[in-house]
Chains A and B, each alone.
Chain A
Amino acid sequence: MEGWEVPIGAAIAFAAGAIGTAWAQSRIGAAGAGTIAEKPETSGSIIVLEAIPETLVILGFVVASMIILMVK
């Protein structure tokens, strides 16, 4: 079987981004929940902060797509 390296590489790129995002969001989520409990007026900023690590998984997705499309 040939060409299996490409999907495996893409999977690793995507999975690493997803794991990184999950870890960051769990920590930010916990701290964010604590902050909102004490200061509800900060919920807007906390939602934005919670979303920032999403960039990691998007980056992982882009890299995975590039691997599949560009690596021959």
Chain B
Amino acid sequence: MDYGYVNARVKGMNSILFNRKYYDTLILKADIDSLITELEKSPYKNEIEEGCVLHPGILGIEYALRKNLIKNYHKILGLVRGDIGEIYINVFLNRWDIQNIKTILRGKNIHASPNEILECLVPAGELDEATLTELMKQQDIRSVIDLLATWQISYSHPLTMYLDEYSEKNDLAVLEYALDKYYYEHSLSIVAGKKYDSRIIHDLLATEIDIVNIKTILRVIRDSIDIEETQSMLLPGGKIFKHKNLLELINTNSIRDVVRKVESTPYSFLSDIPEQAFLTDKISAFEKELDRYIIRKGIRTLRGDPLSISIVIGYLWAKFNEITNIRIIARCKNAYISDEELQEELIYV
């Protein structure tokens, strides 16, 4: 595939992403209304206008951000349609399908209304809005899985396989784990080759698996969950931590020991987290740093071979980061959180 045209367009799209100076401008806005006014001058103009007509305040911004993310991702997918690049990009976009199915299952679990669920969906993957809307209308979790199976959507396989276990334990984490496991195993099998493009995506996926596993272990230790039970919740295929290493980590007694054990790995940055987080077992601080690490790593692929998929993958991460940052700013403005605290929450790249 000739990436010249696609990558030039993607680089053009990347050049209009917000820089640090513009984030500062957004942070300095006094309230949510002035933030909306500022965003109306940005590339989000059309979506913000539409969002603010349909929903008031923060909900309008959320709507606009979702719409813009979907528009951008689908635009890129359109550029590579029919080429090998489409497969690689779908590997990235399929995570939104997983996220959407999880959201629907969670919504059904707490008997949320279809409208409430719809507000949380981001149809950026292969499952479009019409499919997700139909899934949302189902009565319960079992009906959602049945409908996925009827439509022969591949995500129904892991869900059907773990449905009995879910029914026994009545724990949604079982189904969520099944989806994650399926997504990572399936994606890793697609990018198993030795080509440059495959290796880039494989590396990112394997790093993500490590991060998901570290987060799981931190939660297990904090909540003192049974170790035997947790072993089956660890994802295979990590970059640094294989099953044996994960068992070593899980058998430690404290978060501090986990951090000490990862000091010789690329995740050594965890030891720089303030002491307060260790004392209070506040794992959100660790999770935030791990998320930052994978986002930075994803965006760094923008500096890879200019005639490879790495530019597109880097952009997808950069766009995701921009949307996340705007959402953080909007949420903080809505909750009257100070500018200093807000700045700490943002992920600058």
CB atoms of A34 and B4 under 8 A apart: yes
CB atoms of A37 and B12 under 8 A apart: yes
> Would you give the 0/1 interface string for A54-66, flagging 1 where the beta carbon is closer than 8 Å to chain B?
0000000000000
Selected contact of B11 from candidates A27, A30, A33, A35, CB within 8 Å: A35
B273-287 at interface with A (beta carbon < 8 Å): none
Alpha-carbon distance A35/B4, docked complex (angstroms): 10
Are A30 and B2 also in contact (CB < 8 A) when A35-B9, A37-B9 are?
A: yes
A7-48 at interface with B (beta carbon < 8 Å): 27, 30-35, 37-39
- CB of B6 closer than 8 Å to a CB of A: yes
- CB of B84 closer than 8 Å to a CB of A: no
Q: What's the dominant secondary structure at chain B's contact region?
A: helix
Chain A contact-residue range equals 10 to 19
CB atoms of B12 and A31 under 8 A apart: no
> Would you give the 0/1 interface string for B53-90, flagging 1 where the beta carbon is closer than 8 Å to chain A?
00000000000000000000000000000000000000
Query: Distance (Å) between the CB of B239 and the closest chain A CB?
Result: 32
Query: Distance (Å) between the CB of A59 and the closest chain B CB?
Result: 24
In the bound complex, residues from chain A placing their C-beta under 8 Å from that of B7 are 31, 34
Query: Distance (Å) between the CB of B13 and the closest chain A CB?
Result: 6
Alpha-carbon distance A43/B13, docked complex (angstroms): 16
CB atoms of A34 and B2 under 8 A apart: no
A42, closest chain B residue (CB) = B12
B2-33 at interface with A (beta carbon < 8 Å): 2, 4-9, 11-13, 15
Alpha-carbon distance A32/B5, docked complex (angstroms): 7
Query: Distance (Å) between the CB of A9 and the closest chain B CB?
Result: 33
B residues neighboring A (CB under 8 Å): 2, 4-9, 11-13, 15
Given A34-B4, A35-B8, A38-B12, 15 other A-B residues pairs in contact with their CB atoms under 8 A: A27-B2, A27-B4, A30-B2, A30-B4, A31-B5, A31-B7, A32-B8, A34-B6, A34-B7, A34-B8, A34-B9, A35-B12, A37-B9, A38-B13, A39-B12
6 A–B contacts from the bound complex (CB under 8 Å): A27-B2, A30-B2, A30-B4, A33-B5, A35-B8, A38-B11
